[in-house]
Structure 1
Amino acid sequence: MKKFDFENYRFEDLEVWRLGMKIVHEVYKTIKKFPKEELFSLTNQLRRASVSIVLNI
């Protein structure tokens, strides 16, 4: 069995992490178009949920 090289491991190189970051950027870009009354409710929840994707990888 091949040993995993932990010293050269970077999560930023994972395709799934990169896709998660694209989701975060798209969510933040979309949220800017939301009405101001949603600023502290729906937008906050969407931000936290999108960031949670990459933080859990």
Structure 2
Amino acid sequence: MDPALLEIIVCPDCRGDLAVVTADGATELVCQACGLAYPVRDDIPVLLVDEARRPA
């Protein structure tokens, strides 16, 4: 993901900072504040709360 993009996007739920996490071949943007994990599909972040995975 483009580092410049990561500097300007935030979690749509709580406005927290997002970090790129890759596990099992899948990339997600994980909110550092609330823990929601947003999928990245074809290098495009899907920043929809309904599509996010809730923290366990």
TM-score (norm 2): 0.22
Q: Which has the higher strand share?
A: 2
Task: Say which one has the larger Rg.
Answer: 1
Give the structure, 1 or 2, with the largest relative contact order (CA under 8 Å, sep 6 or more).
1
Q: Which has the higher helix share?
A: 1
